[in-house]
Amino acid sequence: MTEPTAEMIQETKLYKSWGLSDQEFQTISNDILGRLPNYTETGLFSVMWGEHCSYKNSKNVLRKFSNKSERVLAGPGEDAGIIDIGDNQAIVFKAESHNHPSAVEPYQGAATGVGGIIRDIFSMGATPIALLNSLKFGELDDSHTRYLAEEIVSGIGGYGNCIGIPTVGGEIAFQSRYKKNPIVNVMCVGLIDHDDVKYGKATGKDNLIVYVGAKTGRDGIHGATFASDEFTDSKSTQRSAVQVGDPFMEKLLMDACIELVHEHSDWIMGIQDMGAAGLVSSTAEMASKASSGLILELDNVPQRETEMTPYEIMLSESQERMVLCIKPEYEQNITDFFTDKMLDAVVVGKVTTDGQYKIYQRGKMVCNIPISGLVDESPEYKRISVKPDRIADSKEQFRPEIKSLEDVWLKILRQPTIASKEYFYKTYDSQIKANTVVQPGSDAAVVRIRDTKKAIAMTNDGNSRMVYVDPFIGGQMAVIEAASNLVAAGAIPIGITDCLNYGNPEKPEIFWEFEKSVSGMAMAGKKLNIPVVSGNVSLYNEFNETAIYPSPMIGMTGLVEDIDNVITQGFKNSGDLIYLIGETRNEFNGSEIQQLQLNDVKGSLSKINVDQIKDRFELILDIINNKLINSCHDLSEGGLAVALSEATFENKLGFKCEVNMPKEYLFSETPARFVVSVSKDNQRKFEDIIGNNGAKIGVVTDDNRMNIKTIGAEATIELSVAMSIWKEAISCLMKKN
């Protein structure tokens, strides 16, 4: 096949099918090149100017986030953000979405998502210590959804288990809007010494560009533009963009890169992983960061298939590949080093000073464009923003209807979003590396740092129902909820990475959701002093024109200074006193009970006093660090009734409580509340510290019962009944045929 000429591309508007607009094509031709781009060049622009690489629709909104704190060593713009944790150590973390690939080929889509995020971490020189994920599926009564859930979870486990990084936590939610467009967000956390940090830079004239890892095939070409496109039933041709992950290859690559950074740091100037948009995105960004130029020789690129065109080689998204920039005198050392690790490393280019991106194949120049034009001069759009009709202005709250409290309580425990996710997370190796102190199932996962007293707490959270009913407050709640998870474990929140999953931003209502929810998250992050250091945007999450709920995912990390203070959510001793910290209000819009009773969520959310919540977090950390409490659990979906139930399951201890509120309030979802248990010996000291911020509501019992009295009602549930309902709900649904 011969490639169309530049003139043909212009005439037939081929660029449009690759996602470039007429205006963008004109800018490239007239302002950047001063001529028409050829086939390869058009391809490079279309992928680099796609939303996935350029953030052209989102970057003006993303500027709302604060990425500064006294701990931030590197923020957005690198492969991952870096946060200081003292003692010359830092953590490196990032989250990424792989929604579209997972919809098409769930196992491989999810697996390669994990592979990609791990590369982002070790490409900075860090050792990955933990993985988390946030998954959103349709309802499990649908067989295709069950298939997607099973395969996505097994893809995540398959990759993470094989490479040997513990998958320690995350969230899973279910809602029919995700039926054909599941959300697959994965996060990786790495550990590094300050001196070992490597950036993805191609710097210094005549330094060499080295390609390491798997060979390049035609897989995933235009995966990056594909990620910026909506799904419809008819678009099956797009579906060739599937890549297969090879966790074994990645394990070799990871170990080699980490060893290289530790032992031979002087050989290399920069490392970058080849992720979305493969060779072009990685090399062009490396050059852009150093204001360098590059020459690439495509004949040297290891190829799995024959007759690949420059376009295909540059845009291939074959997995498990890295790019290094090295000093020429170490070329032999580098190739020998990688050969010993069973990996191919070949020189594919060199750094120049002219700022041009020059690519050759079989002696012929196939691309000559300014790197700044490709990377830095991508367009930026301020999309039109219109408030959707569904957004309610009235302050009216949904009123739950509760005839039998026991009945509603058990129904709530059976809801898949509430029920135990053990069926899924038991398939992840959460203990490998022997550092996991708090395993999946508690508020936050905690991983210790060997040879120190420190530990890192982490969580993935984002209640999209709340964001859907009120993007601004829902956005605030996402940050507050994640922070509450960490605080409940005894950690100080120190950083955020996000995955922002939305529908088509060209629709004004969708853009409004995006803008408002980011504002909410940014505002809460700033007030709580938790910087956003990395992230990812996934737009066009729609199927047949119906968008998903606006679904920002907050990946948050926290620092535990003394691992002896780590606390879990479960009650520990019969006789301990139970306290509820934080006021419970008449707040049911967007709640689990509203979903249960209306099969829908709606209404507005009440304003949140973030400053007051910040003080509450400090109070909780204070009582934890003074060793005054034995358990701490933050309240989220399902409210107090669910939080109390979950606190009983860990050690099979019951409770007897009495609250001064109507029975409906047991299911209120007022944010940033905590249930804690205190031994009687500490009661005095504890009450002195909390003052009127909390109230004693009951006592932990060993009679295998949950008993609660409200104003005008009382309920008693056998622990074994509640527990089996909560534990078995999801596996029962998954085993249906």
Q: Residues comprising the binding site for substrate?
A: 97-100, 119, 243, 317-319, 538
Calculate Rg over the CA atoms of the chain.
26
Of 215 and 709, CB closest to other proteins: 215
User: Least CB distance from residue 155 to other proteins, whole Å?
Assistant: 12
User: Least CB distance from residue 251 to other proteins, whole Å?
Assistant: 6
81 binds other proteins (CB under 8 A): no
Of 344 and 506, CB closest to other proteins: 344
**Residue 201, SS3?**
coil
563 binds other proteins (CB under 8 A): yes
Tell me if residue 222 is catalytic. Answer: no
Tell me the β-bridge partners of 495: 557
User: Least CB distance from residue 592 to other proteins, whole Å?
Assistant: 27
Question: From the list 427, 625, 651, 679, which residue makes contact with other proteins (rule: CB under 8 A)?
Answer: 427
Which amino acid does the sequence have at 601? V
Paired sense of beta strands 492-501 and 705-711, if any = unpaired
Residue 323 sits at the vertex; the CA angle it makes with 319 and 325, to the nearest 5 degrees, is: 175
Question: From the list 58, 292, 378, 436, which residue makes contact with other proteins (rule: CB under 8 A)?
Answer: 436
Please, which of residues 280-309 interact with other proteins by CB under 8 A? Answer: 304-305
| Helical residues (DSSP H) of 528-552, grouped into ranges | none
561 binds other proteins (CB under 8 A): no
Here's the x/- map for other proteins, 329-368, by CB under 8 A: it reads as -------------x--------------------------
The gap from C-alpha 82 to its chain's centroid, in whole angstroms, comes to: 16
Q: Which stretch binds other proteins (CB under 8 A): 11-19, 237-245, 366-374, 677-685?
A: 237-245
105 binds other proteins (CB under 8 A): yes
In which residue are the tokens 């009235």 written?
A: 394
Which DSSP string corresponds to 167-214?
EEEEEEEE-GGGSSS-EEEEEEEEEEEGGG-------STTPEEEEEES
User: Least CB distance from residue 189 to other proteins, whole Å?
Assistant: 17
How far is residue 624's CA from residue 628's CA, in Å, rounded to a whole number?
6
How far is residue 735's CA from residue 411's CA, in Å, rounded to a whole number?
19
Which amino acid does the sequence have at 472? F
108 binds other proteins (CB under 8 A): yes
430 binds other proteins (CB under 8 A): yes
In which residue are the tokens 């395969």 written?
A: 151
Q: Which stretch binds other proteins (CB under 8 A): 103-111, 226-234, 281-289, 375-383?
A: 103-111
Q: Which stretch binds other proteins (CB under 8 A): 429-437, 480-488, 517-525, 665-673?
A: 429-437
613 binds other proteins (CB under 8 A): no
Which amino acid does the sequence have at 690? I
Q: Which stretch binds other proteins (CB under 8 A): 128-136, 403-411, 432-440, 467-475?
A: 432-440
Please state the φ and ψ torsions of residue 166, each to the nearest 5 degrees. -65, 135
164 binds other proteins (CB under 8 A): yes
**Residue 331, SS3?**
helix
How far is residue 127's CA from residue 109's CA, in Å, rounded to a whole number?
24
Please state the φ and ψ torsions of residue 346, each to the nearest 5 degrees. -135, 145
The single residue of 98, 194, 222, 633 carrying the catalytic annotation is: 98
Burial of 463: CB neighbours in 10 Å, binned 0-12, 13-18, 19+: buried
Question: From the list 27, 42, 46, 161, which residue makes contact with other proteins (rule: CB under 8 A)?
Answer: 161
Paired tokens of 450? 């060997």
Here's the x/- map for other proteins, 370-409, by CB under 8 A: it reads as ----------------------------------------
450 binds other proteins (CB under 8 A): yes
Residues with Cβ within 8 Å of 180's Cβ and at least 6 positions away in sequence, in order, are 103, 138, 144, 231, 543, 544
Please state the φ and ψ torsions of residue 183, each to the nearest 5 degrees. -100, 125
Q: Which residues are annotated as a binding site for Mg(2+)?
A: 96, 120, 273, 536
163 binds other proteins (CB under 8 A): yes
Question: From the list 84, 246, 461, 634, which residue makes contact with other proteins (rule: CB under 8 A)?
Answer: 246
| Helical residues (DSSP H) of 586-680, grouped into ranges | 592-598, 610-625, 639-649
Of 278 and 495, CB closest to other proteins: 278
The gap from C-alpha 35 to its chain's centroid, in whole angstroms, comes to: 41
- Which residues contribute to the site for other proteins (CB under 8 A)? 104-105, 108, 154, 157-158, 161-164, 214, 217-219, 239-240, 242-249, 251-252, 304-305, 318-319, 342, 426-437, 439, 448, 450, 563
Q: Which residues are tagged catalytic?
A: 52, 98
